[in-house]
Structure 1
């Protein structure tokens, strides 16, 4: 019986077995308890194809980001279930000492399998864009990710049995081809991250763990909104008792697509919030040109704790380019 929702990840058991998802397991248990002589039959129907994919694994880590609630986590999702992977010869496929089988490859599941996929794609992007920073590469991965599955429906979450949200899949599922040509990027420097840590009220000794030498937070850094970090996503936190509060963030994008291009904004506002973008059009004249915009989020009162978070998106569109950022609004 799966203890993590409907996930049916491959497991190299020593004895033959059948793995059932949570709902099927409950149905079997209910039947067994309903009769004194339960009967079970196994019918082999072969491999089935055409199921909805991808789906968010139930075991995958979830947000929100408790350490920095002004940044959505996770950033992105990637293949991580039933991945063919190299396996050490000293360890059995089941990891049991009593299991004497030895293999060179194994079928493995976990976020440790997703990470190599993203790392490999990041390396490919770096080979194509050698002057890009780590933040630029992350931006390309995030803003080109997709949230629609192979059946044309939103990606589902195997843990909640509902649609996956940015607190589960971040910006979406990684798309290597589109990530290599994102159109626009949100870049972040090391100094920007230092300012971000200062805005979170980290002291000098804590920041020194990230940056060599003495770092003293300046007044403007301490006054900075954590949400102004030039991240390719938006996390907004409202006081549940306050009404019509406005929070405004600033973002800067760099043109890495077509030299002369115009991008128009498209917003899907989270339920219970208004989103205003100024300007609504960004016109670039050359490559590597930077343009800035501001996003204002107006939150309505949420006195009744029915919905704690709502989600939407902000997308800059130009021709075939779709530079998309998730929005997560939370009432506390």
Structure 2
């Protein structure tokens, strides 16, 4: 039966179209073993099903699925969708969601090299993962569960919706969700102003530079005095007056059109260079681009400084504003690094607040990636340059790093499950930079939090020998879905188990008791003064036999955290032991609808291995 949420989702798609009968693409999940013997193949069965809901004109069958997902995709009207849902072998009809891709120094930064010194990892593509929906409406969550159920490690990019909160995507607990951090390499291209001040910037422009030592007139497109100032300040196509910008450097605001496209607009208008200034939302986060003219990107504070200089100089007839761009090539051993990239999507988890997401961060800013030779490095149509590799940024640059690390861990430990691999990456991750200080947030320059980086930045060498791991089976994930108030039909859609059963979930108690390497609780205050909850965790010894682990507790501010027992004594490798974590806190004063997040950690150590789990406590004041 079509759930209310499914119906509303379909209705929203239908009403957004010019007509309710306009066909759209839907993914249809089918009970695979229900195929009648009269049909030689599943495809013939699917075609017959489509014919039955639309006599005379069979809807277009686009693709069939038979690996981690059984079913097909088809072009369907809303009426056809509703009819298809009534067929007994149809499990779910999911509206298609168009996914956008989220993306050499990074292997060296991670400490990974082949015997001849070459890097091991390559990444490609850049963009902005998505909107979070319930798992039974999320084709990636459904497909990835099937993969994990077969022992396949699945990692996914967290998305590029940062730095705002609640932006993380691909949040299913069976998926390893990866955010992006910087590495210790950048491409400085500084702005030198006519008053002698220098504003730091970054750029990948590799063509002929500006004349050495020459200062150029600089104009702010938003103050040209003619036309739409909003369009001109963003350097939109056709918005610049060549009479005002020819032979000058143009200051453009970062905004709705692509960064490289702004440079193309300036170039076509006769400008000799471009300064691309972040707005308040982008903060100080900088992405190096392969521009089509001499150009650089500066942070929000740098942009403000340039505007102030231009405003003051414009009032002086004797010394109008001038500037030049100085390209400094490649710089390594940059400090601080890693830094949480400003675009990296952040928690808390919008679908399952009991599960901390992202899980980890990995290198995702200015990463060497493969590039199609039919597309210029700037990505805009007028760029005729041809290259095989490009420097790209995004959480889709970070995700392949974790996929590569998972492959290395699986090769070293073929018996490990996907959950064990994720556990090793999380419990050995670090949260300090190469200065020995807490990682900062690129967008603000302030100290980052677990909602930004999850368990921390991956550490491959330590992940190879984590000591203890938190393992999770497919049945544990089913219990999690049960405790997340999913219906049996919802759970069947995700897990493809015909006889889904929630009777065992009562033993788990609540969704937060999934055996995850992080521990997260959300307290709804409702006027209560004392609140408490508990977590049960099971760790498996993958270190040394006859090892003893002692716990160190760093409770989140304003909370009391106790662990029982305080010592875990293992006699053999592979042995499993349980422990209980109790979290208690007192209600704090919050405005209606407001929340407060505090984090700490639980650390198990045997003198050789250190196993760290984040503990996150959020207090929410209901409206």
Counterpart position of 1:227: 512
Kept in 2, the 8 Å contact 1:233–1:326? The answer is yes
Alignment match, 2:303 = 25
In 2, Cα distance between equivalents of 1:303 and 1:273: 15
1:195-214 aligned at under 5 Å gives the runs: 195-214=479-498
Offset, 1:234? 0.8
- Does 2:343 align with 1:38? no
What are the equivalent positions in structure 2 for 1:292-303 lying under 5 Å apart? 292-303=578-589
Among 421, 429, 433, the residue aligned to 1:149 = 433
Distance apart, 1:35 and its partner CA: 3.5
TM-score by length of 1: 0.95
Contact 2:599 2:615 (8 Å CA) reproduced:
yes
Q: Distance in 2 between matches of 1:262 and 1:299?
A: 30
Structure 1 vs Structure 2 CA RMSD? 1.7
Within the alignment, does 1:247 sit opposite 2:533 as a pair? yes
Shift of 1:42: 4.2
Query: Which deviates more, 13-22 or 67-76?
Result: 13-22
- SS of the residue corresponding to residue 151 of structure 1 reads coil
Q: CA deviation at 1:205?
A: 2.0
CA shift, 1:222, in A, is 5.2
1:194 aligns with 2:482: no
| Helix, strand or coil at the partner of 2:408 | helix
8 Å contact kept, 2:284–2:444: no
Could you say if the C-alpha distance between residues 187 and 35 of structure 1 is closer, same or farther in structure 2, counting changes exceeding 3 Å?
A: same
Any gaps of 5 or more consecutive residues in structure 1? none
Measure, in 1, the Cα distance between the counterparts of 2:492 and 2:376: 43
Check the 8 A contact 2:426/2:458 in 1, yes or no: yes
2:523 & 2:360 partners in 1: Cα distance? 24
With over 3 angstroms needed to count, the CA separation of the structure-2 counterparts of 1:50 and 1:95, relative to structure 1, is closer
Give, in whole Å, the separation in 1 of the partners of 2:431 and 2:589.
31
Give the Å deviation of 1:14: 0.7
Q: Does 1:108 align with 2:392?
A: yes
1:9 maps to which residue?
A: 287
Aligned length: 332
Distance 1:93 1:27, change over 3 A: same
Contact 1:204 1:214 in 2 (8 A): no
Separation in structure 2 between the aligned mates of residue 11 and residue 266 of structure 1, nearest angstrom: 45
Matched, 1:327 2:612: no
How far apart in 2 are the matches of 1:82 and 1:319? 37
2:598 equivalent to 1:310? yes
For normalisation by structure 2, the TM-score amounts to 0.52
Cross-structure match for 2:359: 75
Given the superposition, is the C-alpha separation of residues 329 and 266 from structure 1 closer, same or farther in structure 2, using an over 3 Å criterion?
A: same
Gaps of 5+ in 2: 1-276, 315-319
CA deviations over 1:127-168 (Å, ceiling 9, x no partner): 010011000000000000011110000111112322111111
CA distance in 2, matches of 1:141, 1:46: 34
Pair 303,197 (structure 1): closer, same or farther in 2 beyond 3 Å = same
Where in structure 1 do 4 or more consecutive aligned residues deviate above 6 Å? Answer: none
Q: Aligned-pair distance for 1:307? A: 6.3
Q: Secondary structure at the match of 1:122?
A: helix
Kindly indicate whether residue 350 of structure 2 is the aligned counterpart of residue 66 of structure 1. Answer: yes
Verify: 1:266 aligned to 2:552, yes or no.
yes
Q: Is the 8 A contact 1:201 1:222 kept in 2?
A: no
With 305-314 and 77-86 compared, the bigger mean Cα shift is at 305-314
Cα contact 1:148–1:155 (8 A) shared by 2? yes
Q: Name the counterpart of 1:281.
A: 567
Indicate the SS of the match to 1:210: helix
Map 1:119-138; keep pairs closer than 5 Å.
119-138=403-422
Q: Is the 8 A contact 1:207 1:215 kept in 2?
A: no
With over 3 angstroms needed to count, the CA separation of the structure-2 counterparts of 1:183 and 1:176, relative to structure 1, is same
Any idea what SS the aligned residue of 2:437 has? coil
Structure 2 contact 362–399 (Cα < 8 Å) conserved: yes
- Following superposition, the deviation at residue 209 of structure 1 comes to 2.2
